Amino acid sequence: MNKYDVVIVGSGLGGLLCGYILSKNGYKVILLEKNNQLGGCLQTFTRKGVTFDTGMHYIGCMDDNQLLHRFFNYFSLLNDVKLRKLDENGFDTISLNGNQYKYAMGYENFVEQLSNGFPLERKNIQAFINQIRTVADESPLYNLREINQQVLLSTESVKTSVNEFVSSITNNATLQNVLCGNIPLYAGIKNKTPLYIQALISNFYIQSAYRIVGGSHSIAHSLKKSIEAFGGEIQTNAEVKKFNCGADSITSVELTNGEIIEGKNFISNMHPQATVEKLDTPLIRKAYRDRIYQLENTISNFTVYIQFKKNKVPYLNSNYYHYNSSSVWDCTDYQTKNWPMNYLYMHQAPEVHTGYSEGALLISYMHFNDVAQWANTTVGKRGTSYKEFKEEKATRLIAELEKSFPGISSQIESYSSSSPLTYRDYTATKEGSMYGVLRDKNFPTQTLVSQRTRIPNLFMTGQNINSHGILGVTIGAIITCGEFLGINAIIRDINNT
Ligand SMILES: Cc1cc2nc3c(=O)[nH]c(=O)nc-3n(C[C@H](O)[C@H](O)[C@H](O)COP(=O)(O)OP(=O)(O)OC[C@H]3O[C@@H](n4cnc5c(N)ncnc54)[C@H](O)[C@@H]3O)c2cc1C
């Protein structure tokens, strides 16, 4: 039987990045992925020639030498992942109360463009930029600085909520909403979501924002190629059923097909609740188990994947965040009759740029409860009532889009949709939660999942430690691999690459 230095469960972005770092540094690794396709949220699918992303639509800080660009350089991704820059003067459009406001790239440009809509608020918009920059600048890992203590974020940014922060910036309620207009990027909850989440994400995209051309699976495929070149192994259709434990550590994992894979160390890229479920051992105390089970998760979503008629719909180089409610914070509290209260509309970046769009995504929040009656079904076998439910929701979302883009529905060739059940079954994230565990500024330590577990040779990675999104998960992978190599050694390696 093979004995690996590190067995990584799950090939989401977190698992793949850990696989890359550790195999590059001589560890014998194997990644085990339950699905046929690698990548978790990096998975894509193609319908009638149009490739759709499912969980990675746009990324930031990719101008030369910006933060993610430096990470992409280290992870050998620059040649394999093709990008298209969003509109520099409006990469995100916030549609609120019949008006549209633009987020522009570049700090000065951001202030300039937004001040057009709020001429009396220029100073406050500048204060917003200054403060989110301060939060980002204070964090060593978000600046590739070596760390000399375990403090990764300022206390204030952890203990202040996003809404408290924007209220301290301005009394103008519309501007407060606009500054939080990208809230679906973190599924924020009023009086809970900490400032650092919004600050790091906004700062990330304001520096530069790009769509991935041809599908986000290119990130997973490139990482796979590198891991294998370093001698690592990746097995798909390999669902881990349980961790086998000895007296004081994990000895192996058992797959659903009965195969046993032994290792010296284990990294779980699964949701922490799914990880704990697979640990039937007294090494995990009840208090730890209970704490993990009680963690609240971020909301899920309903998405419509639209294929347009050929050469009919001009390519929209901006992400369109629309709100029907007077406050962006209310949208998770929808009722069946007033759903959807918001949506995010994004075009897929086409491989060949004709000026027209081939396909788009239309995403709105959805609670798992809305699909709970089909919870015991599996993909493709959920029955007619589920199909009718999805059709009704898709029709409603498209009708909402039509209000902002008159005539758009007549340009739709075909569409399909996904629900919280789809995300639950394709990523094994609890209740199809978009971004995993919800961070709460009132309980900062309790809602922070450590990369360390109660078992000395089991670690966690992915969006539930540190933060979600391509940047949050990348920093998370460095934190996890820091347990093997030391965080500063990895930072030095990145800086020297
Ligand atoms: C709708 C949506 C849109 C998003 N848009 C963006 C965006 O535009 N930009 C951005 O930066 N981020 C975006 N994100 C967030 C980003 O995709 C995630 O934070 C990130 O990809 C999560 O990576 P991960 O490694 O934590 O886990 P996941 O992607 O959840 O991967 C976990 C992996 O573990 C596997 N697994 C689970 N259980 C088992 C088991 N028992 N055995 C074996 N394998 C198992 C799963 O199959 C999966 O492959 C979006 C997310 C969603 C849901």
259-317 per-position pLDDT tens digit: 999 999 999 999 999 999 999 999 999 999 999 999 999 999 999 999 999 999 999 99
CA distance 165 to 142: 21
Q: Is position 238 within any domain?
A: yes
Q: What is the 35 CA–ligand 1 centroid distance (Å)?
A: 12
Whether ligand 1 lies within 6 angstroms of the CB of 56 is answered as yes
201-246 per-position pLDDT tens digit: 999 999 999 999 999 999 999 999 999 999 999 999 999 999 999 9
Contact 236, 38 (CB under 8 A): yes
Smallest CA separation from ligand 1 atom 35, residue: 10
Tokens of 249: 């550590």
Q: Is position 428 within any domain?
A: no
Q: What is the 454 CA–ligand 1 centroid distance (Å)?
A: 24
Tokens of 341: 């209260």
Whether ligand 1 lies within 6 angstroms of the CB of 301 is answered as yes
What is the reported pLDDT for 353? 85
Q: Is position 423 within any domain?
A: no
Average pLDDT, whole number, for the chain?
96
Confidence of residue 148 (pLDDT cuts 50, 70, 90): confident
Give the number of domains in the chain.
Answer: 1
Whether ligand 1 lies within 6 angstroms of the CB of 473 is answered as yes
Tokens of 186: 């973190």
Q: What is the 122 CA–ligand 1 centroid distance (Å)?
A: 37
Q: Is position 412 within any domain?
A: no
What value does the mean pLDDT take over residues 473-492?
97
Instruction: Assign residue 19 the CATH number of its domain.
Output: 3.50.50.60
Q: Is position 28 within any domain?
A: yes
Closest alpha carbon to 480 in 453, 451, 450: 451
| 102 pLDDT more than 80 | yes
What DSSP element (H or E) covers 14?
Answer: helix 13-24
What value does the mean pLDDT take over residues 131-139?
95
| 365 pLDDT more than 70 | yes
Question: What range does the domain containing 13 cover?
Answer: 3-43+216-295+437-496
What DSSP element (H or E) covers 268?
Answer: strand 260-268
Confidence of residue 443 (pLDDT cuts 50, 70, 90): very high
What value does the mean pLDDT take over residues 29-52?
96
Q: Is position 76 within any domain?
A: no
- Pairing mode, strands 359-366 and 240-245: unpaired
Helix runs in 139-285, H state only: 155-159, 162-169, 173-179, 195-207, 217-229, 272-277
Q: What is the 126 CA–ligand 1 centroid distance (Å)?
A: 34
Could you give the C-alpha distances from 484 to 5, 13, 231, 376, 380, in angstroms and in order? 11, 19, 18, 39, 41
Q: Is position 155 within any domain?
A: no
